[in-house]
Amino acid sequence: MQPLQTLIDFPQFRTGLRAGLIAALLVAVIGLAVRSRLRAPVGLAGPAFVLAALGALGGWWGLDGVLPVPGGLVWGLTLLVVAGEVAAHTPWPVAFGMLAALPGGWIVANAVVLPGPGWSRWLVLATAVVGGPLAADLDRRVARLGLGPLLLALAAGGLYWTVPDTELSRAVVGAALPLALVGWPLRAARLGAGGAGAAVTLVVWVAAVEGYGRPGSIVGAAGALGLLVTEPIGRRIGRGAVVGLSRLVSVGSLEIAIVLAQVVLVAYASRVAGFAGQGPSAAWLLLPGLAAGVAVGIWFGISGRLRPRPWRHRRSTTKRPRPSTAR
């Protein structure tokens, strides 16, 4: 309880929490109002998290800021949101999303001169280009469960638990917590195709800024994204090879299994790999965690039955008796 109490005592956390509560209230009202019409949670939690976190960091709307937010960061994250939403309407959302995320990811990675090692810039870019579309893919498949915002909040917690300097990460955690509740248990919103990419990129950007004192923590914070970036890979590897648990267990059991798997992966990445002194050693330590996340994707096989239902009414699958042709 002591670390949690310490986090609550920090003004940066309270500022982020205040911004997150305002964003969560707006998203919940909109999401609950349109959920029945869209037949799926609205994809607003991701953009709302990014906006709340940036507002808490930069002191927007009268909040107590932490540092001036670079203009390049704002524009780059905006481009990532647009790129993800456009990619979601193509036949190949993941592949096209990776290509479309390049401009926004490059701008974010070069928004400021990162104080850490040179490879941290490339890690931010890789997160935007590869991790963002993968996170959007998982968020889309668990949308009806509302787990995307919760998985992101756990990843933000991993960021806080591993970087040596925590001024920025406190605000990020505070902004993520209320929006996690909008996803689960309310199921009023999901991260969204564009919001997922921008959200995970912001988490790793903060890690690159605050992890310079121990470069391995930057790798650990990126690994704390956990299932958001590893499960889609595993699902593609195991497609057709095994019968996924998502088809064999109840939805409630699947929810618990997904959340517990994310907690374990976040704990390993942040407290084991993230405590390595240098990036290469942290990367080697992170490999078992990444392999475990991929294995979860193969084993669980989270399938299309968890995707948002289409806007139009589903056709009935009940077979109607054919009229008799006998005279």
Instruction: Tell me the pLDDT tens digit for each residue of 172-207.
Output: 999 999 999 999 988 999 999 999 999 999 999 999
Q: Which residues contact 29 (CB under 8 A, 6 or more apart)?
A: none
**What is the mean pLDDT of the segment spanning 79-101?**
96
Is the confidence at residue 248, as pLDDT, over 70?
no
Question: Half-sphere exposure of 311 toward its Cβ, with a 13 Å CA cutoff?
Answer: 4
One-letter amino acid for residue 222 of the chain: A
Q: Which residues contact 226 (CB under 8 A, 6 or more apart)?
A: 151, 154, 155, 158, 261, 262, 265, 266, 269, 289, 293
**What is the mean pLDDT of the segment spanning 158-174?**
94
**What is the mean pLDDT of the segment spanning 57-71?**
86
Is the confidence at residue 116, as pLDDT, over 90?
no
Which of 50-64, 93-107, 246-260 has the highest mean predicted lDDT (pLDDT)?
93-107
**What is the mean pLDDT of the segment spanning 83-94?**
96
CA distance 171 to 69: 13
Percent of the chain with pLDDT over 70: 87
pLDDT at 221: 97
Question: Residue 68 — very low, low, confident or very high, per pLDDT cuts 50/70/90?
Answer: confident
Lowest-pLDDT range of 72-76, 86-90, 259-263, 304-308: 304-308
Provide DSSP, 287-316: HHHHHHHHHHHHHH---GGGSPPPSSPPPP
Is the confidence at residue 262, as pLDDT, over 50?
yes
pLDDT at 301: 72
Is the confidence at residue 5, as pLDDT, over 80?
no
- pLDDT digits 0-9 by tens, 219-241: 999 999 999 999 999 988 887 55
pLDDT at 201: 98
Q: Tell me what the pLDDT averaged over the chain comes to.
A: 88
**What is the mean pLDDT of the segment spanning 9-35?**
92
Is the confidence at residue 271, as pLDDT, over 80?
yes
**What is the mean pLDDT of the segment spanning 119-131?**
97
| 112 φψ region: left (φ > 0), alpha (ψ -120 to 50), beta (else) | beta
Q: Which is more confidently placed, 238 or 107?
A: 107
Is the confidence at residue 249, as pLDDT, over 90?
no
Angstrom CA distances, 306 to 48, 79, 95, 131, 311, stand at 23, 28, 21, 21, 15
- pLDDT digits 0-9 by tens, 272-324: 999 999 999 999 999 999 999 999 988 877 765 554 444 344 444 445 555 55
CA distance 209 to 57: 13
What is the torsional sign of CA 157, 183, 255, 77? Answer: negative
